[in-house]
């Protein structure tokens, strides 16, 4: 009888806690969104599976010596995985649309307003009983508004590692929901006539300009915001490999093998932080609410800035492209193009929207650098 008891105690059934069951269900929900709904599957699938693994009783995946423990320690605590992702994203990014129309930098900057508005919102939530965020935690939560998963993970690992799971899930969930969240905001803030505006074709950008651009961006970051150079520097390295034309093998590896391998480990590491004891807190609900607010504000301020630029240009800029100022590349630009086509079947805004879209990537990295400099 004693041996049977020992055998029973060694099973997961005898050791499951309600919180673990809930979190395994959450992991299953993320897997559903990734596989069935196809929402950000490249990240939600490994995150969801990591959440299931880390909540298995007695398995020890996230305990000292466990696989997920080492993946997290090597890639997230050090900040290596988000930086490698940024290099891969840089290698995938074409800055041509932004170089051809530099004014789009203003839209990328305007969309980051959601980050700083949410920072104050997180601080204000401290007045709600049961919620308490430090300045570092509020800063890490606010970066969700940039709709840039790697940046959110990088900043959370530096400022609020205990909240990393909730922040990462919120960031990638809202990125996946861009086609649902953004169109109502875009339509509410623009008229039908504004959405019909057709923009002039962009000029052709030379190879020399594309090579000098990442070098210029890196130089400015070094001089004025060195805390942002880890993210911006790796992004510029990836882009330089792409545009130089002399290291196709390295550029191809960064765009494919490297970013794919790191994405698997990054997702598992984030999922490992979705254990019941870390995730099932009142603060997590606050993060999800603030994340949605941040994303909505970022979209709205981008559109409003584009409306202002449209008025000042005499109606030559379609205000919809301001919504692409968030960093969800290229999904936000595709959503802008789709809404524009609904208003005018001859209105192709994709390339125009890519300008503020890639500017948003730089903007979120700069915002992260500012927050690190202020509270890190």
Residues 6 or more apart in contact with residue 192 via CB below 8 angstroms:
343
pLDDT of residue 287: 87
From CA 101, how far away is CA 104, in angstroms rounded? 6
169 near 30, Cβ under 8 Å?
A: yes
How do residues 207-239 score in pLDDT, each as one tens digit? 999 999 999 999 999 999 999 999 999 999 999
Q: What is the pLDDT of residue 131?
A: 82
Contacts of 142 (CB under 8 A, 6+ apart): 115, 116, 118, 119, 121, 122, 290, 294, 371
**114: pLDDT confidence band, cut at 50, 70 and 90?**
confident
Q: Total domain count for the chain?
A: 1
Q: What is the pLDDT of residues 55-101, one digit of tens each?
A: 999 888 988 889 999 999 999 888 899 999 999 999 999 999 999 99
What SS3 class is residue 261?
Answer: helix
pLDDT value at position 253?
Answer: 97
Top-confidence residue, 297 or 129: 297
What is the predicted pLDDT for the residue at 295?
A: 85
Mean pLDDT of 11-17: 76
Do 103 and 325 form a contact (C-beta atoms < 8 A)? no
Q: Say whether pLDDT at 272 is over 80.
A: yes
Q: Look at 292 and 93; give whichever has higher pLDDT.
A: 93
Which whole number is the average pLDDT over 98-106? Answer: 94
Name the 3-class secondary structure at 55. coil
What is the Cα–Cα distance from 185 to 92, expressed in whole angstroms? 28
Per residue in 157-179, pLDDT (tens digit) is 999 988 888 888 888 877 877 88
The pLDDT assigned to 1 comes to: 67
**Domain limits at 73?**
2-375
Contact 214, 90 (CB under 8 A): yes
Q: Which of 169, 156, 107 is nearest to 310 (CA)?
A: 107
Contact between 359 and 109 (Cβ < 8 Å): yes
Q: Which of 89, 125, 156, 32 is nearest to 330 (CA)?
A: 89
Tokens of 356: 């503020």
50 pLDDT exceeds 90? yes
Find the range with the poorest average confidence among 99-113, 116-130, 251-265: 116-130
Burial of 257 (0-12, 13-18, 19+ CB in 10 A): exposed
Report how far residue 115's alpha carbon sits from residue 325's, in angstroms, rounded to the nearest whole number. 12
* pLDDT band at 120; cut points 50, 70, 90: confident
């Amino acid at each position: 009888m004693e041996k049977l008891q020992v055998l029973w105690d060694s099973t997961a059934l005898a050791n499951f806690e309600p919180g673990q069951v809930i979190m395994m269900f959450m992991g299953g929900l993320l897997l559903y969104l990734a596989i069935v709904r196809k929402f950000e599957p490249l990240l939600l699938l490994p995150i969801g599976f990591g959440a299931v693994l880390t909540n298995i009783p007695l398995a020890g995946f996230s305990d000292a010596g466990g696989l997920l423990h080492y993946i997290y320690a090597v890639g997230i605590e050090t900040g290596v995985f988000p930086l490698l992702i940024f290099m891969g994203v840089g290698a995938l990014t074409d800055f041509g649309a932004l170089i051809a129309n530099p004014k789009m930098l203003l839209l990328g900057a305007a969309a980051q307003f959601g980050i700083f508005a949410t920072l104050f919102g997180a601080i204000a939530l401290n007045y709600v009983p049961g919620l308490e965020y430090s300045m570092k935690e509020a800063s890490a939560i606010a970066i969700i508004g940039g709709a840039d998963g790697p940046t959110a993970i990088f900043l959370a690992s530096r400022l609020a590692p205990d909240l990393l799971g909730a922040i990462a899930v919120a960031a990638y969930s809202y990125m996946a929901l861009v086609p649902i969240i953004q169109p109502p905001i875009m339509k509410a803030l623009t008229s039908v006539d504004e959405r019909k505006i057709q923009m002039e074709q962009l000029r052709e950008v030379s190879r020399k300009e594309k090579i000098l651009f990442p070098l210029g961006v890196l130089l400015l970051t070094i001089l004025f915001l060195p805390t942002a150079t880890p993210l911006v520097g790796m992004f510029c390295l990836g882009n330089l490999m792409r545009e130089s034309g002399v290291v196709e093998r390295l550029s191809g590896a960064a765009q494919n093998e490297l970013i794919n391998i790191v994405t698997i480990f990054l997702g598992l590491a984030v999922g490992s932080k979705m254990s019941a004891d870390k995730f099932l807190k009142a603060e997590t609900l606050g993060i999800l609410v603030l994340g949605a607010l941040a994303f909505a504000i970022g979209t709205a301020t981008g559109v409003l800035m584009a409306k202002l630029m449209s008025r000042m240009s005499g109606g030559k800029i379609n205000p919809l492209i301001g919504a692409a100022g968030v960093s969800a590349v290229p999904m936000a630009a595709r959503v802008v193009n789709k809404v524009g086509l609904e208003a005018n079947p001859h209105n192709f805004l994709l390339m125009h929207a890519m300008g503020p879209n890639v500017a948003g990537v730089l903007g979120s990295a700069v915002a992260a650098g500012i927050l690190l400099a202020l509270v890190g």
